[in-house]
Amino acid sequence: MTYTAWDLQAFARDLGYSGAPFTWDAARRLQLRCELDALYFHLYGISDRADVAYMLDTFPIVKRNDERVYGEFRSKRLILQLHEAMGKLPKLLVPAPMNAAEAYPVPDLRGWRGLRYTE
């Protein structure tokens, strides 16, 4: 999502990528951002839809911009759709970062091919 211009070529090489910059694709970027947001909720153990919705409502600037451009809080709707779809996936047990003896379930995204959200 960051390597979209040649002036970032050194950064991309530092990360092991030697190809051309990625084409700016607003729809694809939206998809990726919403997938990441949905996954982060699962990684932090926030699986209840109402909790996710509440937390998304704490971003008033995003909400205001979405409503101005799209007539709705589109980011919230898309993230909730993706969060729900990820919640239906089989779970992996991931070690808790602070205590390796504990583990918590997260969606197994190995087979994830993305969910086309509905407009």
33-46: pLDDT as tens digits: 999 999 999 988 89
On average, the pLDDT of the chain sits at: 88
| pLDDT value for 96 | 72
In a domain, 42, yes or no: yes
In a domain, 52, yes or no: yes
pLDDT at 1 over 70: yes
In a domain, 84, yes or no: yes
Instruction: Please enumerate in sequence order all residues whose Cβ is within 8 A of that of 93, keeping only pairs 6 or more positions apart, or say none.
Output: 103, 104, 105
- Using DSSP bridges, classify how beta strands 103-107 and 91-95 pair: parallel, antiparallel or unpaired: antiparallel
| pLDDT value for 111 | 79
Quote the pTM value. 0.80
pLDDT at 53 over 60: yes
Q: Structural domain of residue 96, as residue ranges?
A: 27-107
Number of domains in the chain: 1
In a domain, 113, yes or no: no
In a domain, 54, yes or no: yes
In a domain, 40, yes or no: yes
CB 36 within 8 A of CB 119: no
Higher pLDDT, residue 5 or 102? 5
| Encoded tokens for 49 | 């839809």
In a domain, 11, yes or no: no
CA 79 – CA 37 distance, rounded (Å) = 7
Place 49 in a pLDDT band, splitting at 50, 70 and 90: very high
Place 115 in a pLDDT band, splitting at 50, 70 and 90: low
pLDDT at 91 over 80: yes
CA 95 – CA 104 distance, rounded (Å) = 7
In a domain, 21, yes or no: no
